[in-house]
Structure 1
Amino acid sequence: MAFEVDNQTKRDLDIFAVNQDSKSIFGLFNFTTCKGGENKLYHFLSEPLTDLDAIRGRSEAIAFFQQHGFTDLDIDMDTLSFAEYYQKHREYSLRRPTKLWRPLNNQLLNKLRSSENYFVVEKGVKSIIKILQRLYKFCHLLDEKSSGTLPSLFQKRNKRILEILEIQEMKVLLDMIDIRPFDVAEYNYIFRYAQQRNLQYMFDLIYEYDAYLSVAKAASEYGFCYPEVLPKTENRLKAEGIFHPFVENAINNDIQFDTNSNLLFVTGPNMAGKSTFLKALGVSVYLAHAGFPVPAKNFSMSLVSGLCTTINISDNLQSGYSHFYAEVLRVKHVAERLKVNSNMMVIFDELFRGTNVKDAYDGTLAIVSAFARIKSSFFVISTHIVEAAEELKVNSNINFRCFDIREENGHPVYTYKLKDGISTDRLGMYIIRKEGVVEMINEVLLNNNTE
């Protein structure tokens, strides 16, 4: 079963950049050294996992690289690029020589050596040999560093690589220093035909390892932790020191869910940090299911089979939908998905901001009360309709948290820290007064009257 996540959620969490200048989670992790590695990284982030063994296996592999100081595969990127070019462009080729006519073949090959065709084949063959030699050494280096505790994913990959390199026609390459024209033609045939699938496996492995090394470097660079992902039956989430990786000097927060407290109701004034916190939590859940490290000091959660967020929803002018109607349709979509998949993390930021206060109050109360009855999923809902919180207190599984605001010298100070309870702070008019909006409008009127 695939992890359920839609494009709205990926946009909300900035998993991929929407334009060249925007930040993205993908960009944060992208320290890859080759295009194939970059494509692998993109694939890993595009499709989070629901298989617990696969998640743990990937996470262990990435952590192993970080813990043992691996930074790259020590494969020259120009060599790799040319090997890829050679494999892709099969129009550059040589006829396979025969032993019977070997002297004649050597004469013909010597004549061809000045041609572009021969140059590409010779350099391509030599490039692949260098890569095989380096990959062989890297497999043994992994074993040496592991001290007998090599992650299971590497054990499987190493076993397969060594099996391929035990094939006689491949084994002789491991100590080869120079290659003769006759052998160039021979190995052109071997690489293009006899060992094509095995070579493709090795190239894919290089890309996979490049992606893992990239993620490991990001984990070190940003101080991410490796999450503990538990079976679904645990039905809990605990995050210590969670933060958003895009925020410089970010303030971290702690949060916890379980079956008896699976809905988090977040209140707080404008600019207090609600949206940033919701995004940080969503990103962490997403990354944990991709087998990646997460922005937190400690993070553990039971497996969920999907993630759905509503943070940056907009009007749909083409369909004629208002903002409020778009919100209603999004809630309906979540309800439909929960009918099929009742084990999800659902995040809503500012429910029903697109309508009047009365409808927003009634809608928030109705939707949150309904979600609270679904104990098999996790829900996080922020709102500016704090009046609904009093009515919702009858639900024992709702955890009420708010963002703390302090007052210093008559001015509010944002701490960006979550605390227990419900916020009654209202800073809308304070912000309007601080920015001098009313005075500016009055100046416009004054100027118009004096003209």
Structure 2
Amino acid sequence: MPQSANDTSGILGLDVHTLKDLEIFESETGDASLFDFCNFTRTRGGAAALRRRMERPWSNAGRIRATQASIRFIDAQPELFTAVPSAYVSGGAEAYTQEILPALDHRSWLDFAFGAFQMWFNHDSHYFSIVRGVQATCRLVQALRAFVAQNLASSAGELVPLLQQIRALLSRPKLAEVPDYDVGAWGTWRMLRLDQVLRIHEKETITRLLGLLYKLDALTSMADATREYGFIMPLVEEGALRVRAKGLVHPYLAKPVANPVELNQESRVLFLTGPNMAGKTTYLRALATALYLAQLGMGVPARSFCFVPVERLFSSISLTDDLRRGVSYFRAEALRVKAVASAVAEGRRVVALMDEPFKGTNVKDAFDASLAILERFSGRENCLLIFSSHQIELNDHLDIAGGQIDCRYFEAVESSDRLHFDYLLRSGISEQRLGMRVLREEGIFELLDGSPGGHSAGSPTDESRLSAHSS
């Protein structure tokens, strides 16, 4: 049964903030969005169909598997899908069905002949637009006939009903009047008779065929993206909520470092620590992006990926205050946590990613709030949480908060030179405190200690330091 536009059953819940955090449709830096990254469509209508899919990923295991089966079939036989009608053909047919042109709907052959002569004689621009539209629509019908005539018997998943609908529409008696050759040499009478069929009797049929073509184009694009980037197809599981991955990376990175993910009912919360720039935020985005792609039914950037589908995906990475609404930064953080808590309270299956929350308040409140959130989320069966923080002092209290908290960290590799990072996930809590070192490496204290045009009193110059060292 086709799904209505307002039906949200089986659809992954994504709010505006999560779409923004994951750069699904736009990037704040002006780089390509995830939609651009996955868009291999050949038609404008196909791109619109792909966007609709990416706005409403599945949360139902059966629907995800159906999309996966379609993508696997397309990926295994890509040559079959080169026969799908091109943007030129579909664009011409779509313009023809939407353009306002005079139409002849006369039943009597004499009335029709008179109307055809009048149109040809008095409205030549309209007539030639009709001719171009008829030719384009005939090419569309012919191309779809050729496509479904191929060996598609082993097609699977969403492709099965999609192909059935295309064949049923093409078999309508009126469409039998469309020949399997170019109609460019047809005279006025026959051309306008065919226009009558296509634009009056079977206009809805042509519109539906275009819609099915665009869905097919979107599915093909998802298969092309999965193949182009070397993504693997995830394993969709049943039962208690969990996500497990090996070799997970973010798809945007040219030379990514792969890491594992393990979230389940024994480890519902991942408490993530480490210095800035070590990889915490990228890790959060990599997991959220992979889970999003998996619930689209696409492949993901990992060596292996297994998951039980979730109903709500939340990220809290790039929060800001809202001056117009009078919402402070901490209020924005609290509202974000409330949105997650509301979904959990409703009994939804939730994955949430919080990147250094409670920065908008004092250290004591931030500590207490973090501990309270970790304690409560670790006890909720329907929720998996990654919580990154610089509050390493929480380590002494995590056993009290609950046994379902797994501690992992990233670290900087320290040496006599500048800091560098290996971006590898480790077990435990980071003890690194690098803020002062980063400030020194950037020369900030030297800038502030110096006087304009010279050096501050009592502060040794570079020359005096070298002299003292040499002596």
TM-score, structure 1 normalization: 0.91
Per-residue deviation, 1:101 = 5.8
Higher mean alpha-carbon deviation, 299-308 vs 150-159, is at 150-159
Contact 1:259–1:375 at 8 Å: present in 2 too?
Answer: yes
Contact 2:57–2:295 at 8 Å: present in 1 too?
Answer: yes
Per-residue deviation, 1:175 = 2.0
State whether structure 2 residue 444 is matched by structure 1 residue 437.
yes
Structure 1: gaps of 5 or more residues? none
Higher mean alpha-carbon deviation, 433-442 vs 65-74, is at 65-74
Could you tell me which residue of structure 1 aligns to residue 23 of structure 2? 14
> 3-state DSSP class of the match of 2:315?
strand
Q: How many angstroms apart in 1 are the aligned matches of 2:32 and 2:389?
A: 26
State whether structure 2 residue 51 is matched by structure 1 residue 51.
no
Could you tell me which residue of structure 1 aligns to residue 264 of structure 2? 258
Could you tell me which residue of structure 2 aligns to residue 286 of structure 1? 292
Q: How many angstroms apart in 1 are the aligned matches of 2:205 and 2:451?
A: 74
Q: How many angstroms apart in 1 are the aligned matches of 2:87 and 2:229?
A: 26
| TM-superposition CA deviations, 1:284-310 (whole Å, max 9, x none) | 112222222222222121011111111
Could you tell me which residue of structure 2 aligns to residue 151 of structure 1? 156
Give 1:119's match in structure 2, choosing from 128, 132, 141: 128
Give the letter for the 2:386 counterpart: V
Q: How many angstroms apart in 2 are the aligned matches of 1:392 and 1:149?
A: 53
Give the letter for the 1:401 counterpart: R
Give 1:424's match in structure 2, choosing from 418, 431, 450: 431
| TM-superposition CA deviations, 1:147-199 (whole Å, max 9, x none) | x4211322212222222222222124252432442232222222223222221
| TM-superposition CA deviations, 1:390-438 (whole Å, max 9, x none) | 2113422111111144344555431111121111112211211111111
State whether structure 2 residue 95 is matched by structure 1 residue 64.
no
Q: How many angstroms apart in 2 are the aligned matches of 1:421 and 1:196?
A: 64
How does 1:404-419 map onto structure 2 within 5 Å?
Answer: 404-409=411-416, 411-419=418-426
Per-residue deviation, 1:122 = 1.2
Per-residue deviation, 1:213 = 2.1
Higher mean alpha-carbon deviation, 262-271 vs 209-218, is at 209-218
| TM-superposition CA deviations, 1:315-353 (whole Å, max 9, x none) | 122233332222122212221222114311111000212
How does 1:24-423 map onto structure 2 within 5 Å?
Answer: 24-70=33-79, 72-96=82-106, 98-99=108-109, 107-108=117-118, 111=121, 115-141=124-150, 144=151, 146=152, 148-178=153-183, 179-231=186-238, 233-394=239-400, 395-409=402-416, 411-423=418-430
CA pair 168-319 structure 1, distance change in 2 beyond 3 A: closer
Structure 2: gaps of 5 or more residues? 1-8, 458-471
Q: How many angstroms apart in 1 are the aligned matches of 2:28 and 2:278?
A: 27
Contact 2:120–2:127 at 8 Å: present in 1 too?
Answer: no
Per-residue deviation, 1:95 = 4.3
Q: How many angstroms apart in 2 are the aligned matches of 1:4 and 1:50?
A: 8
Per-residue deviation, 1:97 = 6.1
Contact 2:418–2:441 at 8 Å: present in 1 too?
Answer: no
Give the letter for the 1:64 counterpart: F
| TM-superposition CA deviations, 1:94-147 (whole Å, max 9, x none) | 4446445676566556536x7011111111111111111111111223xx2x5x
Contact 1:432–1:438 at 8 Å: present in 2 too?
Answer: yes
Contact 2:68–2:157 at 8 Å: present in 1 too?
Answer: no
Aligned length: 444
Contact 2:85–2:140 at 8 Å: present in 1 too?
Answer: yes
CA pair 400-131 structure 1, distance change in 2 beyond 3 A: same
Per-residue deviation, 1:383 = 0.5
Higher mean alpha-carbon deviation, 77-86 vs 301-310, is at 77-86
TM-score, structure 2 normalization: 0.87
Give the letter for the 1:91 counterpart: L
> 3-state DSSP class of the match of 1:254?
strand
Contact 1:361–1:388 at 8 Å: present in 2 too?
Answer: yes
Contact 2:106–2:112 at 8 Å: present in 1 too?
Answer: no
Q: How many angstroms apart in 2 are the aligned matches of 1:442 and 1:409?
A: 23
Q: How many angstroms apart in 1 are the aligned matches of 2:358 and 2:112?
A: 80
> 3-state DSSP class of the match of 2:423?
strand
Contact 1:93–1:117 at 8 Å: present in 2 too?
Answer: no
Give the letter for the 1:329 counterpart: L
Contact 1:95–1:185 at 8 Å: present in 2 too?
Answer: no
Q: How many angstroms apart in 1 are the aligned matches of 2:381 and 2:357?
A: 20
Give the letter for the 2:430 counterpart: S
- CA RMSD across the alignment: 2.4
Give the letter for the 1:314 counterpart: T
Moved over 6 A (4+): none
Q: How many angstroms apart in 2 are the aligned matches of 1:51 and 1:202?
A: 27
Give the letter for the 1:326 counterpart: A
> 3-state DSSP class of the match of 2:175?
helix
CA pair 351-409 structure 1, distance change in 2 beyond 3 A: same
Q: How many angstroms apart in 2 are the aligned matches of 1:48 and 1:439?
A: 52
Give the letter for the 1:223 counterpart: G
> 3-state DSSP class of the match of 2:413?
strand
Q: How many angstroms apart in 2 are the aligned matches of 1:173 and 1:420?
A: 67
CA pair 336-293 structure 1, distance change in 2 beyond 3 A: same
